[in-house]
Amino acid sequence: MPSSRLKYTTKPPSKMHFRCRAIALTAAPLMIARIKITVGEEPLCVISPESGRRKAGGPVARSAGDGDGSSDRQGFCREHRSAGIVSGDLFVGDVAGATCIIVDDLISTGGTLVRAARAARSRGARQVLACVAHGLFMPGAETALADPAIDRIIATDVVPAFRLPAGPVRDKLDIVPAAPLLAETIRRLHEDKPL
Q: Are residues 148 and 189 in the same domain?
A: no
Q: How confident is the model at residue 40 (pLDDT cuts 50, 70, 90)?
A: confident
Question: Is 92 buried (19+), middle (13-18) or exposed (0-12) by CB count in 10 A?
Answer: middle
In the predicted model, what is the mean pLDDT of residues 182-193?
Answer: 93
Q: Are residues 149 and 194 in the same domain?
A: no
CA dist., res. 188 & res. 141, Å (int)? 37
Task: Report pLDDT for 195.
Answer: 83
pLDDT exceeds cutoff 50 at 151: yes
Q: Are residues 108 and 164 in the same domain?
A: yes
**pLDDT tens digit sequence for 56-94:** 555 565 555 554 444 467 787 766 556 666 555 667 888
Which stretches of the chain are assigned E, i.e. beta strand? 44-48, 73-82, 85-92, 99-107, 127-135, 152-156, 173-176
Q: Are residues 61 and 113 in the same domain?
A: yes
Q: Which CATH number do you get for residue 60?
A: 3.40.50.2020
- Alpha helix locations (H) across the chain? 28-39, 58-64, 111-122, 141-144, 168-171, 179-190
Q: Are residues 18 and 108 in the same domain?
A: no
What is the residue range of 17's domain? 1-26+181-195
pLDDT exceeds cutoff 90 at 182: yes
* Integer CA distances (angstroms), 186 to 23, 180, 190, in order: 11, 10, 6
Q: Are residues 13 and 51 in the same domain?
A: no
Task: Report pLDDT for 61.
Answer: 54
In the predicted model, what is the mean pLDDT of residues 152-179?
Answer: 96
Domain count, the chain: 2
Q: Are residues 139 and 169 in the same domain?
A: yes
Counting residues of the chain whose pLDDT is more than 70, the rounded percentage is 73
